[in-house]
Amino acid sequence: AWLDGYGTATTDTLSQSVAVPAGCTSAQLRFNLHVDTAATATTTAYDPPTVQVLNGSGTVLGTLATYSNLNAGSGYTQRSFDLSSYAGQNITLQFTGTEGSKYQTSFVVDDTALNVS
């Protein structure tokens, strides 16, 4: 999924509802992330995309990560988060890219999986 990268003020959202089985001993969210940007700042974070966990009503239960133009790189980086605290719940995983109006920043997510055991 490719979020943002327009160079104009916009918000893109990708979400997926999942059931984390009760009694699981491990629940790992894994995805590959690539951030590309035209911003030249090396100390100021712009265009912060987030990865969040929501309940069935859309209330944010937690923010797993916030990224920015400072995470830009030439390739993908694998990210992993422990979701075992949500065992027995139906949750929504939400990726939100929020871009300002000056420089493009793309938030590209690939090979997303929730591995449980």
pLDDT tens per residue, range 81-98 = 999 999 999 999 999 998
| Residues near 59 by beta carbon (within 8 Å), at least 6 away in sequence | none
Q: Which of 5-9, 16-20, 29-33, 93-97 is least confident?
A: 5-9
84 phi and psi angles, rounded to 5 deg: -60, -20
Buried b / exposed e along 71-105 (16+ C-beta atoms within 10 A): beeeeeeebebebeebbebebbbbbbbbbbeeebb
pTM above 0.85, yes or no: yes
